[in-house]
Structure 1
Amino acid sequence: MDRICTMVRNGTHRAVFIMAGPGIGKSAVTDAVTERLAGNMLILRIHASSALAGVPFGVLTPYTGELTAEESVSPVAVLRSMWSYFEKLKAGHGGSVLLAVDDAHHLDDASAGVLTEVISAGWATVVAAARPRPGLPQPLDQLWYDGLAERVDLRPLNREQIEEVLAHVLDGTVPAATVDSIWNASSGNPRILDALLHDSAEAGVLAKRNGIWMLLGQLPSDGARLAGVVAKDHLRRRTEEQEALKLIALAGPVGRKVIEDISGAAVVRSLLDQQIIVEAPGIPAELSIWNGLFAGAIRNTVSVSRSLQLLEKVKAHRDPIQLQGEGRLRAVEWALECGVRVSDDEMLAAAKEALLRFRNHSARSIASRIQDPAMVPLAQAIQARALYNEGAYREAAALLDECWLPLAEDPQGPAVLLLRVWAHQAIGHPLGMTAEDVEKCAALSGHSDMSWQEELLHLLHLGAEVNFQALNDAVDAMRKHHPAEAGEPLRALAEGLLAHALVSGGRPVQGLEAALLAASELPPLEGSLFFFPEFVLGRLVSDYLAMGEWESAEREINHYAAGHAPAAATFNGSLQLLRGYSLLRQGRMERAYQVLLPAVEALRLNDPLQLYRFGTALGFYAAARLGDTEQAQRLEQDHKDADAGWPAHDLLAEAYMAAAAEYLIRDGKGLAALQTLMTTTEASARTGNFLEILTMCWDLGDPSVIPMVQSTARGVEGRWAEALLTLATAWEHADGDTLMTTAASLEEAGFVNLAREAYARASTVLEQAGERRRSRQAVAQREKCDHELGERFREGRFIAAAPTVRLTRREQDIVELAVQGLTDREIAQRLMVSVRTVEGHLYRTYVKLGVRSRDELEAALPK
């Protein structure tokens, strides 16, 4: 906008053309420009429209009112009339004329020619808004080619811009998942975005939970604001275009030839030019509305009776054999919406397709209508998976209780039984209880062969107990019996469970091999009713993290997210937890905290992988380490209130809870609990977990564990264990040169948090040896590591320079932001805490530093 205003004021261009698709904001920009220039220019408006597009000089009527009927069609007379109008206006008010033209792509050629003459003669400056397709009339377009006009193209908002808008509009933290969902749903269109935010907030779908904006369901397409956008768009269109849009919205994706046969090729070309519909290449080429929510809103404007008429029209021109994928799904949905009978076979196929696309409501609705007794069990299983995706675990478990046994001989049988186990675990039923029920039901039904069910439950028991030796034996037997087969659900399960168990046992390299073998089983399992891809992903990431391969773990998460966008609403909390755990393992505590808090809130709503309890422990740990007492106490209570998660995570969850309690209270009880935990048989049997617990004790300031770190790390695979062993050995030797060399090598290897500890130890050792200059160098290197980790203030500027003033980590963060000039609310949003928390920390800081206001903070801080 500033650029356009500058061009108009300076007179560098006599015309500026603002080009953008529908709803991008070209009219809003035009209005803002005219409002800003109204003080020193005379503003006149021209509103073009499709209704006047065929009327020569029709849009110029307000300025040619004194012409006779014969003169009104003469370009010379129209030009003379406009010149007279401008002169009278300038005589009365002074200043130059600015013509603002809206929807200039609808200008008739005659009017466009007159405006071109006005611009060329310098009688007025023109700011015209138009769509790039079909574009400006040729006379105006030629001005741009000749260099007499400037063109400004507005693009849809990108993700960063959407994030900025949400941060400005919403008071609180907006996590990445919410930003992604709203960005994808709005397609970056400001008009759709505005309607979407209002409608979703009104419907309670967009809600604030513990200071974090979460999506509690599907974004609505039936809201009043979005309906208004559709109604306004329809009013601008010819009747034949409106009908074609309804057909495409109801049937889409639908073959282009079908719509051309009904509405005409010219109408289809016009809608494509206007970018209101898009064409997917293929045979046959298919048409869809440019935005899914917009399509849903159009469908909501069509009555059932009219929808039925349109359905019959489409069926008369469409070859049902060519229907596939989303087109077939939409055909079944549309028929059911109109009350048309659909065969059970078609409904089952459509329900599977809907489930594959995570259109859970549609999958449930279609599957619930299936009546064929032979198909009902599978239909129930599909409904159960859709409910599970939505976090309705109790309802899913009830359906799975009915259908798992009839599906025992079905290829989906293992997946359904697995889903049943997970659903019951999600509502607090332990694995043993579900296993007993399976045996009981099998006995009552007379099923004699329950071998695979027994094997599946046995594998789950071994996985829950983290018995890697027994799991290894079971997997070896499977590999020998079925060495060449892929797509075996039991083998994918066994390899995944083994991968996790090997990580716990300190063998992540072998675990990675098992996880990759599990991943090789996945392609044939696509469409399974169990979430094998996500199950295996969790094991892959855990293996990479245990090895210290941070980038590989992040790559796996990003690769999954890019290829499974529809699954985001269900599994995003789990993905973010894995990402937060990775950051925590790297020592990037601030960033981990920012990721873990939204992840915990997402898992509170939907926890398919049973990670919520583990997530609350990690969140509590991060909050406690950063000194955020309020959030830490809430997360601690969340952990206590949580149902049991996947048992294999319990040991580490307990360790992180104990460490967090020590950081929070510093009474020695948390550290004692950790030391007690290390003596248990469970901990000592899991070397990998044991080493992780030892590092927690070390971080808490217990140097007595360093010899144990050395002995344990020698028996653990991977770069992380090697790095810990290197640090512990150098620490014990207490040689300044060795410590500095070790720190540099650790930093180069990507273990910045370990390098920081080595530099800190080196600074102490060198100071004691009287080498103060080198000690200061070590301090500088340590602070560089702090900065890279995002913890710039840890034992840094404030504490090191003023040892009598002990600010907590959170106080340090808040003071630094306050000194930068941020308000309490802005600090709260940045750090994801309440305003009251910020105020409390600032008050305590004032007392410690002996100041009375923000103005005195900078002077009181050590330089």
Structure 2
Amino acid sequence: MNRPWPLIQRQLEFETLKSALTSDTGACGVVLTGDAGVGKTTLARVATQSVPGDVRWVAGTESARSIPLGVFAHLVGSATARDPVAFMSAAREALLGTSGRLVIGVDDAHLLDQLSATFLHQLAIDRAAHIVATVRNGETTPDAVTSLWKDGHLMRLELTPFSREQSVTFIESVLGGPLEGLSANLMWEASGGNALFLHHLVEGALEAGTLRERRGVWQLRGRAAITSELASLLEDRIEHLPPEVMRVLELLTFCEPLALDTLSDLAGEEAVEEAEQRGLVQIVEDGPKVEVHYNHPMFSEVVRRRVGRAAARRLRGNLVEALRTHPLAGPSDRIRLAELALDSDQTLDVDVLITAAKDAIALANVPLGERLARAAVDRGGGFQAANLMARAQLWQGHVGGAEEALSRFDPDDLDQRQLVRWGVTRIANLFWAAGDATAGDQVLDQLRQRVQDPAAAAVVRGIGATCAVFENRLDEGLADAEAVLAESNPTPWSEEWGTFAASMALALTGRGSQVAALAARADAVMNKVDGLTRYPAAMGPILALVLTGRLDDAARRAQAYLDHAGATGQFLGWGQANILCAPTDLARGRFAGAARRLEQATAALAVGDTGSALAWSFPAYPFLAQAYSILGRVENAKTTVAAGVERYGRHTAVFGPMFEIGKAWEAAGQGETSRAITTARGAADAAAQSGQFAVEALALHLATRFGDPTTAPRLAELAERCDGVFVTLAADQAAAFEAGDGDELSRVAREFEKIGALLDAADAAAQAAVAYSNSGRRRESLDAGATANTLAEQCDHATTPAILEAARPLPLTSREREVASMVAVGMSNREIAERLCVSVRTVEGHIYRACMKLDVADRSGLADSLRARH
């Protein structure tokens, strides 16, 4: 790819450089300093192309350092003078003989010979030309060049590596599309923000197929490959290293970081010291641990390319032997030892592989967990290894592989503990990964009949409770979950499933204040079971905080999960963690960010046999439909709703009422206010039937915001039943809206703003503006309308029916306004008639009357009029 470097990355530096090259006062140019590859030459050349005058470029090289005035030879021609003074005088006359402004660019000025450096220094002193020079950090530089900035003749401008945000913009400009956040982190860390490294990383990953586009999002999956061109550039640093130093780098390539003592034992203390002195590695102290890291991750890839397969196996074997002599301090040490052994000339006991696979799955690294478990299966690891492999596969959506791994075991041949593990894994695979609730329930019934051991039976009851909650049988699921959690000595597995089910059920039924204790209990056991379970299990506690109006607490909890997922570098956990952030983003009015987050999450979770880990990603669809609708991305909202419909079933029934809320937002986004209200009321009815009283309140509140004046009585009942401030405010707003009380609506708007629910506040303020207008209080109406607009702008310029009505006080009836809004989004008269269940003639009548009231000629003018008032 030969894409231009996006100059916006260095806009400030570019303007500074351009100003120095055109100003006749102050410094007559700039010396750009920085590490190799940060973009010094690119910036300098782009800047010189943008200024008037004659631009002459020279470049310092190692080979020209022995030739006096060598870099300027092609500009000044040959000279017969041997005296340096006469030589420079002749060069000056030849170079400055041209008319007009002269700009001299010097690349790698640290490599200039002494006479060239002196000549450049004199030109700067005399202000005979404007100069831009680049100097690489850490290099020995001639005194005459150094004095250019020390004496103030040229300005010194340090170019630092790109920030993460700059790196993302750079990569996306090359790819032409959005880059996944997790991939952006990995590429930024691997490159150190170096522009040259970033460019070659992108090219190398594209060539290797590890950087690919999925659902419009670019994802890095696998090692960060580099191009042969970049490898050649970096190999200069290691080409002539002593063998003992090279061994340090080779060992570190296959095991980074590595304890200083271990590396010193394998390669020698002096070799490690010399590698550090050469700037190739760094020693990092973390409490009692002293570890060795590469100074730059890219060198690891260069060394890896140089090591053959046989040598790599031998080196890994050396590392395995060395690590075996030290006590394994924890899961990371066990995983590292097992992973090294797989590709080495050493063998490990199958029990070590099984333990390492279990550790990897607990730490959410399921691809590695599958690899280690598969190796254990191949070495005769039996049921335990096969079950671990199946657990790793189901998280990746490999439904068939998980079933195959477990199908070779007859449940009649398993003991009680094995039977539960066999059954729980199959239930999770069938129910959540495959989306087949019927098959999952059949296995659950089988376990209930066979398992007699009390501890094992508690695990079965726990997962049964979670299945019941997901099937939207909340009372049954909560009763079973509470019974499991009441056990005197629950196992981590039963406690995991019990807290999972209970927290979700309590949050949705309006008892969110009881969830905090369960969340703390769940946190204590999550590292003991499948690490990825922590993310779907966290939805309940986060919804509890959102539905009770504790948005700041919800945001902190969701961010903690996102930080954890980012630290592990595992995309499945990262995708699920982003979905956890969505409820708070939406409640706070951060719709553009929520849309980007959810787009990336659904792309990350589009894995496995069906192309999607169904149950894990399903909550993204109602959230994404809402974000798209509020942002005016109507077609995206329709597509998202359709995708959600395809993925909906018994296994995700608990999210049904919330999905209906997403559909209501999609209708509102198309201007179909009456359908939006009807859908929101339908969501409330569905929630009420299953006991989701907090969600019922959310749906009725939405109907209020869309213009339904009949929600107050039921919301008042729900305010008595549900925890937290949110439902109370929703009930207050409904009562005030029904009464047309502008003052009370304004108060509710202020209270919503205090808890951070900015779009709720905007809608309440918008309804206050209309209420004030209806009662003839014009000044208050204008103030409330301004408040609504200000809050809407803070919500990414969101649009809702209430905000639109307040912003455009049209002389139209509610139905005329609805029809006009549907015209504005491009619907035909027949489509409008079908949506509103009226005749085409009736629609035409509404359009005719609206056109007359707004003094426009036709439906095209009507659409333009509404868009102008938007």
Q: Tell me the residue number matched to 1:422.
A: 428
Q: 2:147 and 2:754 mapped to 1: Cα distance?
A: 58
Does structure 2 conserve the Cα–Cα contact (< 8 Å) formed by 1:5 and 1:37? yes
Q: 2:687 and 2:132 mapped to 1: Cα distance?
A: 78
Secondary structure at the residue paired with 1:610? helix
Q: 1:271 and 1:355 mapped to 2: Cα distance?
A: 35
Letter in 1 for 2:772: L
**Deviation larger for 338-347 or 506-515:** 338-347
Q: Tell me the residue number matched to 2:691.
A: 685
Does structure 2 conserve the Cα–Cα contact (< 8 Å) formed by 1:571 and 1:608? no
Q: Does 1:799 align with 2:808?
A: yes
Q: 2:465 and 2:306 mapped to 1: Cα distance?
A: 53
Secondary structure at the residue paired with 2:402? helix
Does structure 2 conserve the Cα–Cα contact (< 8 Å) formed by 1:723 and 1:751? no
Q: Tell me the residue number matched to 1:151.
A: 156
Does structure 2 conserve the Cα–Cα contact (< 8 Å) formed by 1:589 and 1:791? no
Shift, 1:517, TM fit: 3.1
Shift, 1:198, TM fit: 2.9
Give runs of aligned pairs for residues 233-272 of structure 1, distance below 5 A: 233-240=234-241, 243=246, 244-256=248-260, 272=276
**Deviation larger for 584-593 or 716-725:** 584-593
Q: Tell me the residue number matched to 1:572.
A: 574
Shift, 1:299, TM fit: 1.4
Does structure 2 conserve the Cα–Cα contact (< 8 Å) formed by 1:368 and 1:380? yes
Does structure 2 conserve the Cα–Cα contact (< 8 Å) formed by 1:472 and 1:498? yes
Give runs of aligned pairs for residues 822-833 of structure 1, distance below 5 A: none
Letter in 2 for 1:421: I
Query: TM-score scaled to structure 2, two decimals?
Result: 0.77
Q: 2:493 and 2:760 mapped to 1: Cα distance?
A: 40
CA change 1:526–1:22 in 2 (3 A) is: farther
Q: Tell me the residue number matched to 2:851.
A: none
Shift, 1:653, TM fit: 2.2
Secondary structure at the residue paired with 1:704? coil
Q: 1:662 and 1:299 mapped to 2: Cα distance?
A: 56
Q: Does 1:501 align with 2:505?
A: yes
Shift, 1:557, TM fit: 1.3
Does structure 1 conserve the Cα–Cα contact (< 8 Å) formed by 2:481 and 2:501? no
Which string of whole-angstrom CA distances, capped at 9 and with x for unpartnered residues, describes residues 610-641 of structure 1?
24334323433444555544223322321232
CA change 1:570–1:718 in 2 (3 A) is: same
Q: 1:561 and 1:459 mapped to 2: Cα distance?
A: 27
CA change 1:665–1:288 in 2 (3 A) is: same
CA change 1:473–1:630 in 2 (3 A) is: closer
Give runs of aligned pairs for residues 462-861 of structure 1, distance below 5 A: 462-466=468-472, 473-474=479-480, 477-478=483-484, 480-482=486-488, 488-519=492-523, 521-522=524-525, 525-526=526-527, 528-565=529-566, 566-586=568-588, 592-605=594-607, 610-624=615-629, 628-642=633-647, 644=649, 645-657=651-663, 660-661=666-667, 664=670, 666=672, 671-672=677-678, 675=681, 678-679=684-685, 683=689, 685-791=691-797, 794-795=803-804, 799-800=808-809, 808=821, 850=861, 861=868
Shift, 1:570, TM fit: 0.7
**Deviation larger for 623-632 or 78-87:** 78-87
Q: Does 1:3 align with 2:16?
A: yes
Q: Does 1:183 align with 2:188?
A: yes
**Deviation larger for 431-440 or 553-562:** 431-440
Shift, 1:720, TM fit: 0.5
**Deviation larger for 684-693 or 601-610:** 601-610
Letter in 1 for 2:16: R
Figure out how many residues of one structure are paired with residues of the other and give that number.
Answer: 802
Shift, 1:547, TM fit: 0.6
Secondary structure at the residue paired with 2:193? coil
Shift, 1:717, TM fit: 0.9
CA change 1:252–1:124 in 2 (3 A) is: farther
Does structure 1 conserve the Cα–Cα contact (< 8 Å) formed by 2:34 and 2:160? yes
**Deviation larger for 543-552 or 275-284:** 275-284
Q: 1:187 and 1:6 mapped to 2: Cα distance?
A: 29
Secondary structure at the residue paired with 1:791? coil
Q: Tell me the residue number matched to 2:838.
A: none
Q: 1:801 and 1:651 mapped to 2: Cα distance?
A: 34
CA change 1:480–1:111 in 2 (3 A) is: farther
**Deviation larger for 165-174 or 18-27:** 165-174
Letter in 1 for 2:741: D
Does structure 1 conserve the Cα–Cα contact (< 8 Å) formed by 2:59 and 2:109? no
Q: 2:67 and 2:266 mapped to 1: Cα distance?
A: 33
Seq. identity, %: 17
Secondary structure at the residue paired with 1:321? coil
Q: RMSD of the alignment, in Å? A: 4.8
Letter in 2 for 1:642: R
Q: Tell me the residue number matched to 1:58.
A: 66
Shift, 1:542, TM fit: 0.9
Q: 2:418 and 2:21 mapped to 1: Cα distance?
A: 68
Does structure 2 conserve the Cα–Cα contact (< 8 Å) formed by 1:46 and 1:99? no
Does structure 1 conserve the Cα–Cα contact (< 8 Å) formed by 2:687 and 2:693? no
Letter in 1 for 2:60: I
Which string of whole-angstrom CA distances, capped at 9 and with x for unpartnered residues, describes residues 229-269 of structure 1?
12221035442178354443234323456666787878756
Q: 1:540 and 1:365 mapped to 2: Cα distance?
A: 33
Letter in 2 for 1:198: E
**Deviation larger for 360-369 or 79-88:** 79-88
Q: Tell me the residue number matched to 2:461.
A: 455
**Deviation larger for 26-35 or 770-779:** 26-35
Q: Tell me the residue number matched to 1:18.
A: 32
Does structure 2 conserve the Cα–Cα contact (< 8 Å) formed by 1:580 and 1:592? yes
Shift, 1:349, TM fit: 5.1
Shift, 1:674, TM fit: 5.3
Q: Tell me the residue number matched to 1:43.
A: 57
Q: 2:124 and 2:632 mapped to 1: Cα distance?
A: 67
Secondary structure at the residue paired with 1:280? strand
Q: 1:64 and 1:184 mapped to 2: Cα distance?
A: 39
Shift, 1:541, TM fit: 0.8
Which string of whole-angstrom CA distances, capped at 9 and with x for unpartnered residues, describes residues 357-410 of structure 1?
655544433432226877443433443344344443432343355579799879
Letter in 1 for 2:197: I
Letter in 2 for 1:18: L
Q: 1:764 and 1:397 mapped to 2: Cα distance?
A: 60
CA change 1:191–1:355 in 2 (3 A) is: farther
Shift, 1:21, TM fit: 2.8
Q: 2:747 and 2:729 mapped to 1: Cα distance?
A: 13
Does structure 2 conserve the Cα–Cα contact (< 8 Å) formed by 1:381 and 1:529? no
Question: 156, 167, 173: which is aligned to 1:168?
Answer: 173
Does structure 2 conserve the Cα–Cα contact (< 8 Å) formed by 1:99 and 1:124? no
Does structure 1 conserve the Cα–Cα contact (< 8 Å) formed by 2:769 and 2:806? no
Q: 2:621 and 2:750 mapped to 1: Cα distance?
A: 34
Q: 2:867 and 2:679 mapped to 1: Cα distance?
A: 40
Which string of whole-angstrom CA distances, capped at 9 and with x for unpartnered residues, describes residues 797-843 of structure 1?
97336869987599699xxxxxxxxxxxxxxxxxxxxxxxxxxxxxx
Shift, 1:320, TM fit: 4.0
Secondary structure at the residue paired with 1:286? strand
Q: 2:381 and 2:634 mapped to 1: Cα distance?
A: 54
Q: 2:397 and 2:543 mapped to 1: Cα distance?
A: 24
Q: Tell me the residue number matched to 2:830.
A: none
Does structure 1 conserve the Cα–Cα contact (< 8 Å) formed by 2:281 and 2:292? yes
Q: Does 1:218 align with 2:224?
A: no
Q: Tell me the residue number matched to 1:392.
A: 398
Letter in 1 for 2:693: T
Letter in 1 for 2:163: N
Does structure 1 conserve the Cα–Cα contact (< 8 Å) formed by 2:55 and 2:104? yes
Q: 2:570 and 2:332 mapped to 1: Cα distance?
A: 19
Letter in 2 for 1:542: L
Shift, 1:561, TM fit: 1.6
Does structure 1 conserve the Cα–Cα contact (< 8 Å) formed by 2:693 and 2:718? yes
Does structure 2 conserve the Cα–Cα contact (< 8 Å) formed by 1:506 and 1:686? yes
Shift, 1:604, TM fit: 3.6
Q: 1:167 and 1:798 mapped to 2: Cα distance?
A: 37
Letter in 2 for 1:632: A
Letter in 2 for 1:638: A
Which string of whole-angstrom CA distances, capped at 9 and with x for unpartnered residues, describes residues 101-140 of structure 1?
4283x789x7898689768876988755444346757775
CA change 1:7–1:266 in 2 (3 A) is: farther
